[in-house]
Amino acid sequence: MRKDDIMIAAGLAFLILCVQNIDCTSDKSMQEGTPWNYDYTRYHPVSEISDWMERVVTDNPELVSSSVYGETFEGRNITYLKIGLGSEEVQKKAIWMDCGIHAREWIAPAFCQWFVKEILLHYKTDKKLNEMLKNMDLYVTPVLNVDGYMYSWINESTRLWRKSRSTPPEGCTCHGVDLNRNFNANWGTVGVSRDCCHNTYCGSGPVSEKEAQAVTQFVGSRVDQILCFLTIHSAGQLLLLPYGHPHISAPNYDELMAVGRAAAKAMKAVHGMDYRVGTSPDILYPNSGSSRDWARLMGIPFSYTFELRDKGEFGHLLPEEQIQPACEEAFEGALFIITYVHDKAFHNRTEIGAASVARAFWATVLGSCLATMYLL
């Protein structure tokens, strides 16, 4: 038996013992370093997410800070959480993650909150995670399209709102722009509409929207610092890589595909859900002006769009009972990509394979159990 197989088998044996003796999903396991009584298995309005962000910063001053980096069309703050260990004065490499660029995709902000919660729970006991947080900062925006997200909470008639809430151009009566068609990446060429009433209306010009401007200015000024750009969406269970234009390929396409496929395997290992990997033209539809494509064009080597559950049964109305499993599997995929990117940058390691996927998965599950044992 190979060394990798022995390690995986040993991890599985320990996991069985762990599960027999403790409940890895107990309420206690969700409290250390996170706001008490916060329910990560339901959807939250902006006011509750904002309060949660403040508590996360207050309760974890050694790890988490926050900053406003932009303003929405209606004047609301766009805020990120910065997660990292070490001196604030040292400029570190970084990972970018945003959620909620499309208002109706409520599972996306739920995932960003889950992602932060998992980091807070495990960074003290997970040596690999601790190492990564010493080497890199994580910038996480739980809700990017704040105006649109708030609008989608008004009532059932607004629940499926997708766009921002900017005023319509002259001669039109429909509000909003599809922010994920508004970035300066082959803007307006394919997969968009010039009709302002359409869900894929790309705006009056590239980066015309304040929300897209905020990301462009912040991330664009840190291109040499940011190693990976992750933007979280739903639905379809896809992992999309650049580019959305059918006639353009990323220079590191093969590596992006290999890492994406390995991440999809890690996600499937959690609850058996399949995620397809590829460019948008290959597995979804052509599009232009996406933040993912813009990030890769700017020189950020790894850029992915996560399309979370499901494949059509509920679509953007994913029931709350699916929040936890959806976030658990997505966390494994995101963590795999982040770990790969870190190890390539800091250890010149580019191992991809079944064993590495299994190690990433079992390490996270075992870490969760160990953290719960510690709290018990």
Task: Name the packing angle between helices 323-347 and 127-135 (round to 10°).
Answer: 60
d(CA 297, CA 126): 34
Beta bridge partners of 230: 97, 304
Three-class SS of 118-187: HHHHHCCCCHHHHHHHHHEEEEEECCCCHHHHHHHCCCCCCCCCCCCCCCCCCCCCCCCCCHHHCCCCCC
User: Which of 32, 307, 328, 332 is the catalytic position?
Assistant: 307
307 assigned to active site:
yes
- DSSP code at position 287: -
- DSSP code at position 315: T
Cβ contact 48:153 at 8 Å: no
Token pair belonging to 103: 């208002």
- DSSP code at position 252: T
Token pair belonging to 18: 């762990």
Strands (E), 217-335: 226-234, 238-241, 276-279, 302-308
d(CA 229, CA 222): 12
So which residues are the catalytic ones? 307
